[in-house]
Structure 1
Amino acid sequence: MKPSAIPVKRPFPVDILEAIAAAVFDAALPCPSSPLDPLYLPNTANMPTSSPSAFPAPHWSEPVARKTLANMCLVSKDFYYAAKPWLWRRIEVNLPRNWLRLLDEICGEDEEHTPPQVIPTILMPVSTDGYPHLVVTSPPSSLSTPVPDNNVAMLSTKRVTQLANVITMPDKDMRKRTVPLDLLSPGVSRDPSPRRLRARSPGRWRFIRDVNRRIHAEPGLYVPTPVYSRPGRYVRHLDFNHFRTISMRHFVGDGTRFVTEARLERLLKEMPNLRVFGATELIESAVSANVLAELILRGLPYNGAPVRGRGAVRLKHEMEEADDEERRAEYKPLEALDFCGCASPIFATSLQQFVKETGLGLSYKPAQPKRLASGHFNGHAKEPSLIPVPLRTFPGLRRLCLDGVASVSPDILSAFVCSFPSLTHLDLASTCCTPTLLQALAATPTIRLHSLSLSRCSRLTSESITDFLIDGGAVTEGIRELSLYGDATAPCPLTRWDLGRIVTEAKCFIRGQLEYLDLSGSALDKSHLAGFSPQPSLRSLGLNFLGANISMHEGTEGRTEGLTLGDIRDFLFNKAPNVEIVTLVGSTPELTGTIHDGSPHASPAKLTASKGAISIALHSQLLLPLCVPACISSDSPNYSPPEPPTRLRVVELSAFTLSCLGTGAFGWKIVKSRGGRAWYVDSTAVWADGALRRGVQEGKGKEVRVCLERWACEGSPHGVGWHARKMEVLHGQGMFGREDGLYGAVSFAYAG
């Protein structure tokens, strides 16, 4: 009897392993169609779905995907090489210790340990036996890692194809020069050593450049491509959203700053394929002018060093600048930048220095009159005689968030923002944005805005916003997410007349394409709601602090009675039935329990309703008519109950109003954020498999209801909330993006 053959394990093809790693990475990316809900955990056992679904989860969490890729690297060597690029593709720095490890892994050395005068060159002296030979000598003895003399190798060109750690090229001056061994051989072929000779990124880049130039100069010579083991070339996403330094100096370092300008600049030089970068207020002091140059001046065409005439001598700093420009020309340009919360004077000074050094600014040219449909020019239109035009542009960047960057002067802000002519997402909330900036954006023919936030911009005027939204043309006609949020301290500057014009004339309103709209702090009243076109795509609506700006822009004749719950109910029922989230903080007298007297100057409001009356008004006038289907009796066996008239399931309310609701009723629960915001949520309404289901008690979606009830009793974690106030630009989700960390606090926690 023959023994059974031992099965042989055959490795998977490389493309299959790479496809598996790519699928794991893609599972953690946000889906284009969001269910507007936080990521309910734990439900990672189910496969993510791309449809609007809260259960199963629309995507994995980032830590789950990262841990899965890390475990794949431990399976085998083939899995390691397939999963490593995807493991390093997205980096979120959270702790100082991890930041220092990241520097050592990607850069390889600290500033104080960088060996001086490491300039790699290549040589090929002529041999006496008729064959060209290569000489690779050790570095100078003055460096920290000496190499014995017997490491000098004499090789013929026929053996170059067999040894990947030797690169040969002819040199005209026939002089022997030194090449650091770390630039010639991959790191996996030798034992790692923290004190090994290494070169900085510009020096390493010059080495690769010389190799490529001489390869093209000698087409018959085979030169193996040098393999560099550092993972910086895999990184596409880098952000500091979760970075913390509180109480860390006792465990890491001696009290100095962890993220410094030199460290951050050196790290960015090692990432030629970086496409997304996010900073916070904890590292804003490290975002210097040089760091901004490394981020923004990427992917620009290199025209060569300027010629200064015969016999001109180029200075050292001029050569370094030329090398930096040539190196950045080979890098990929950034697609998204997030500077949320960078409001210190240090960051403002760095941005001002960058704008001046790179020649950014606005020039003015005469405006061309618009041609009418009849073919004649309109010479009587109210148009500016001069329009601002940027002096220099960077067409690669598409998404920009400057939320809270309030210390940058208006002229610097305008010059910086207008230098990006391909923007689709722009967040200027709480900045010194002026009408000049909006005028310059409207005059840029290549901008196609999809998401725009002008929240709490006190320098804007009602006329400038109106002209930008109505006369912006292709720049603003495609807007789907618009935030004009204002509150009692910084109201929306729109007057009643201009708000009426926007509602009835702006193309983004007329076409009914808006998905997110926030008119908080404006003078919105019943007449404006009546002028709205049907909004079938609207999913999130902000109506906080209505009437807060009437006393600022309107006189006595501009005062109205404001909106009531009945007006909002009729608008949602007739024109926006797909709205799922509405914010009503301090908007209607039924919820605040206060009324104003009829005097010309508004006197302090007086409490006129009890807490029980506020709860009854909310449920009877808004929630029950919009969220409960009509009762229709039928004896048919195939009878199915009708759907509710709207999809409303989340209402943001003030702390006083929520205190009148107790623990909730009819399945509605109070969910509070880690800050001052809170919501009244229908725990029985769940997006499951692409459909909104109400009255969920058991079966699919039960986990979501249990999770909401737990948050109502124990409190919610970071990043939980609805109707974000900060634009998510790193992944391009806009105002529907789900963020936690410092970005999530701005989106869902801050009440102002």
Structure 2
Amino acid sequence: MPGIAFEHFAAENATHNTHPATIIGGEVYSTSTYAHEQTEFDHASDLADLKEQAKLMQQVLLSTADLPLFARGPRRLAPIERLPVEILQKILGEVATQPGGIYNSLKDLNACQTVSKVFHAYTMPLLYSHVPVSASPVFAKFLHGLQDDPFKGSLVKTLDFSGFTSVGMGRTGRMNKEIQMFTATTLDMCLALTPNLQQLLLSEHVEHDIDFNIIARLLGGDMPYIKALDFCAITSNELVRAMTDFVDVNMLSAAPFFALPRLERLSFHECSTVPSRVFAALLPRLHRLTHLDLTHTQVTSDTLMSISRKARLQHLSLSRCSKLSTEAVAEFLLTHPAARNLVSLNLRASGKVMSEDHLDIILPSLPRTLKSINLGGNTEFGDNHLPLLPSTVEELGIAWSKVTIDGLKENLSPNIHTVDLTGVRNATAFSILNNFLLTPNPMQPRTFHHNIRVFELSDVLISHLDAFASKSVAWRVVQGRGRRGWVVRNDVFEEERVLKMEAPYCYGFLSRKVSVVKRGAEFPGMEGDDQGAYERGIYRFYAYGK
């Protein structure tokens, strides 16, 4: 049946999301999309597999194509339809990856789909590339559509459960278990129907529906194209049991095990119950990791050092890891090859803090690629450590440190545009206002210049500065949907308004969660910003609210 998946899938999403989109599906008529699919791989064997897959997909498309479309000559096509395939894909790719939310993108793609059969053919893979699931009825109808037309499952590259919830549906936990729309069995069936899946984004709202079969499918080699996995805040016994059973059965045996050759981005953010032996078995086998979030996990010092030496980490979070020693963190950052290309680093502490000696050793040795570092909670960080930071740093988190306002004025790098001063004793409403927010008197020489556009401050300071910001033409207060708050320069909002983004949910507000999702990564040349700009649902809360 044409379009049964997205007819119901997006219509149901419209009842559960603030940005509804009604997508009308249809048959796929073109053979061109998969000829340019996939990103580059390191090995020649991967390219051979990719070419073979593209050839098979073309055959499937040809077998179901509407022949009159192919028989038409170019004279019957509109000028835009006669553009080269690459240009048409680029145009539609810009629509698919535009800022403003996934549902706005789906709505615009739906409009493009109705233009003509040519646009319909090129739009269909984009509609199915990133599938957001907001509730169990949405998932059930989407799965039913895939069962009716399995080929559409091959178009799915991202399954996104970050916005999944049953809140507002009038159901108890017991009712959710009795209503068999979303279960471990149906999720496993969905994964079986999406063999080309590249990104799977799970969350705490699906934590009771993960079993051994799902973990075995994800980590056991049945889904070889997986590049990103996110288990954000899943602490259920079901996940712990599935992970440990899989490790016991597969990874601790004498036989070599390597089933995730393409996994690049992995998040166990707030997965505090997953035992350390799971990380010890998994991390040494992931040779292509670039994004790793171990926030508030049981990862140990030995496990940290066992990360594959072939990995090239760019984004790393070791925040609030109680079983990690500061010595191990220092050794990893100073000696491990995987830490030489870091772009963002989260070392936010809640118990063990780094001593002054550790800071003196680590900070000068950080890579010159570093743009964001969060040292919040390290109470020994002082004014003398500011000059030790790499000059490339743009975002700096020094909450609850012992820095002073005078120290910031003397030692702050001009490249820093975001700073977290939450809990800094010397940072009062008067000192922030007088030294950073007020425009200097033009009749007096200016002794201090800064480029800070975003200040993160405590609730008390935010409330004190709110009256000033409400009358200011240069600054405004932004209250996060949680505990966090910012004073933001207005030109930041002017930039974001042009991009249709919702501040503060974009790069520049010191995200506390490593984002593993890439919008548009399924299509070469269409990748969007991968750090925070597209966090949604519960991921947004953990990144900018908690």
- How has the CA–CA distance of structure 1 residues 704 and 680 changed in structure 2, closer, same or farther, with 3 Å as cutoff? farther
Check whether the contact 2:208–2:238 (CA below 8 A) recurs between aligned residues.
yes
Q: Residue type matched to 1:70 in 2?
A: N
3-state SS in 1 of match to 2:486: strand
Q: Does 1:538 align with 2:538?
A: no
Q: Deviations over 1:390-426 (max 9, x none)?
A: 8646321011011011101111222122221211111
Greater fraction helix: 2
1:741 aligned partner: 537
Question: C-alpha displacement at 1:78, in angstroms?
Answer: 3.0
3-state SS in 2 of match to 1:566: helix
Please report the TM-score for the alignment, with normalisation by the length of structure 1: 0.56
Check whether the contact 1:481–1:735 (CA below 8 A) recurs between aligned residues.
no
- How has the CA–CA distance of structure 1 residues 498 and 465 changed in structure 2, closer, same or farther, with 3 Å as cutoff? same
Q: Does 1:568 align with 2:408?
A: yes
3-state SS in 1 of match to 2:286: coil
- How has the CA–CA distance of structure 1 residues 460 and 82 changed in structure 2, closer, same or farther, with 3 Å as cutoff? same
1:10 aligned partner: 77
Q: Residue type matched to 1:294 in 2?
A: R
Q: Residue type matched to 1:270 in 2?
A: L
Q: Does 1:514 align with 2:370?
A: yes
Q: Choose which of 457, 460, 481 in structure 2 pairs with 1:656.
A: 460
Q: Does 1:241 align with 2:131?
A: no
2:8 aligned partner: none
> Which of these two proteins has the greater Rg computed from alpha carbons?
1
Q: Does 1:454 align with 2:318?
A: yes
CA distance in 2, matches of 1:83, 1:495: 55
3-state SS in 2 of match to 1:430: coil
Q: Choose which of 520, 528, 544 in structure 1 pairs with 2:385.
A: 528
- How has the CA–CA distance of structure 1 residues 736 and 674 changed in structure 2, closer, same or farther, with 3 Å as cutoff? closer
Check whether the contact 1:663–1:669 (CA below 8 A) recurs between aligned residues.
no
Q: Residue type matched to 1:243 in 2?
A: F
Question: C-alpha displacement at 1:621, in angstroms?
Answer: 2.8
Question: C-alpha displacement at 1:361, in angstroms?
Answer: 7.3
Q: Choose between structure 1 and 2 for higher RCO, CA contacts under 8 A separated by at least 6 residues.
A: 2
Q: Choose which of 16, 23, 44 in structure 1 pairs with 2:91.
A: 23
Equivalence map 1:388-537=2 (5 Å): 392=258, 394-441=260-307, 444-472=308-336, 474-486=337-349, 490-504=350-364, 506-508=365-367, 511=368, 513-522=369-378, 523-530=380-387, 532=388, 534-535=390-391, 537=392
Please report the TM-score for the alignment, with normalisation by the length of structure 2: 0.76
- How has the CA–CA distance of structure 1 residues 565 and 399 changed in structure 2, closer, same or farther, with 3 Å as cutoff? same
Q: Does 1:334 align with 2:226?
A: yes
1:373 aligned partner: none
3-state SS in 1 of match to 2:351: coil
- How has the CA–CA distance of structure 1 residues 15 and 85 changed in structure 2, closer, same or farther, with 3 Å as cutoff? farther
Check whether the contact 1:280–1:742 (CA below 8 A) recurs between aligned residues.
yes
Q: Residue type matched to 1:356 in 2?
A: D
- How has the CA–CA distance of structure 1 residues 541 and 257 changed in structure 2, closer, same or farther, with 3 Å as cutoff? farther
Question: C-alpha displacement at 1:98, in angstroms?
Answer: 1.4
Question: C-alpha displacement at 1:271, in angstroms?
Answer: 1.1
Check whether the contact 1:719–1:741 (CA below 8 A) recurs between aligned residues.
no
Check whether the contact 1:460–1:493 (CA below 8 A) recurs between aligned residues.
no
- How has the CA–CA distance of structure 1 residues 279 and 14 changed in structure 2, closer, same or farther, with 3 Å as cutoff? farther
2:199 aligned partner: 276
Question: C-alpha displacement at 1:704, in angstroms?
Answer: 7.4
Check whether the contact 2:507–2:531 (CA below 8 A) recurs between aligned residues.
no
CA distance in 2, matches of 1:261, 1:464: 38
Equivalence map 1:127-526=2 (5 Å): 230-248=151-169, 255-298=178-221, 328=222, 332-360=224-252, 392=258, 394-441=260-307, 444-472=308-336, 474-486=337-349, 490-504=350-364, 506-508=365-367, 511=368, 513-522=369-378, 523-526=380-383
- How has the CA–CA distance of structure 1 residues 405 and 735 changed in structure 2, closer, same or farther, with 3 Å as cutoff? same
Question: C-alpha displacement at 1:74, in angstroms?
Answer: 2.5
Question: C-alpha displacement at 1:439, in angstroms?
Answer: 1.4
Q: Residue type matched to 2:326 in 1?
A: S
- How has the CA–CA distance of structure 1 residues 255 and 67 changed in structure 2, closer, same or farther, with 3 Å as cutoff? same
**Structure 1, unaligned runs of 5 or more:** 1-7, 30-47, 49-58, 109-227, 299-327, 364-389, 547-561, 592-613, 634-641, 689-700
CA distance in 1, matches of 2:536, 2:390: 33
- How has the CA–CA distance of structure 1 residues 229 and 502 changed in structure 2, closer, same or farther, with 3 Å as cutoff? closer
Check whether the contact 1:461–1:494 (CA below 8 A) recurs between aligned residues.
no
Question: C-alpha displacement at 1:334, in angstroms?
Answer: 0.7
Q: Residue type matched to 1:673 in 2?
A: G
Q: Deviations over 1:596-632 (max 9, x none)?
A: xxxxxxxxxxxxxxxxxx33211223445xx769769
3-state SS in 1 of match to 2:145: helix
3-state SS in 1 of match to 2:320: coil
**Structure 2, unaligned runs of 5 or more:** 1-74, 522-528
CA distance in 2, matches of 1:26, 1:296: 32
CA distance in 2, matches of 1:361, 1:743: 35
Question: C-alpha displacement at 1:11, in angstroms?
Answer: 5.4
1:680 aligned partner: 487
Taking every aligned residue pair, what percent have the same amino acid on both sides?
25
Check whether the contact 1:581–1:723 (CA below 8 A) recurs between aligned residues.
yes
The root-mean-square deviation of aligned C-alpha atoms, in Å, is 3.3
3-state SS in 1 of match to 2:488: strand
- How has the CA–CA distance of structure 1 residues 656 and 447 changed in structure 2, closer, same or farther, with 3 Å as cutoff? same
Check whether the contact 1:725–1:735 (CA below 8 A) recurs between aligned residues.
no
How many equivalent pairs are there? 456
Check whether the contact 1:274–1:334 (CA below 8 A) recurs between aligned residues.
yes
- How has the CA–CA distance of structure 1 residues 89 and 102 changed in structure 2, closer, same or farther, with 3 Å as cutoff? same
1:616 aligned partner: 430
2:43 aligned partner: none
Q: Does 1:78 align with 2:118?
A: yes
Question: C-alpha displacement at 1:261, in angstroms?
Answer: 1.3
Question: C-alpha displacement at 1:294, in angstroms?
Answer: 1.9
3-state SS in 1 of match to 2:285: coil
Check whether the contact 1:296–1:334 (CA below 8 A) recurs between aligned residues.
no
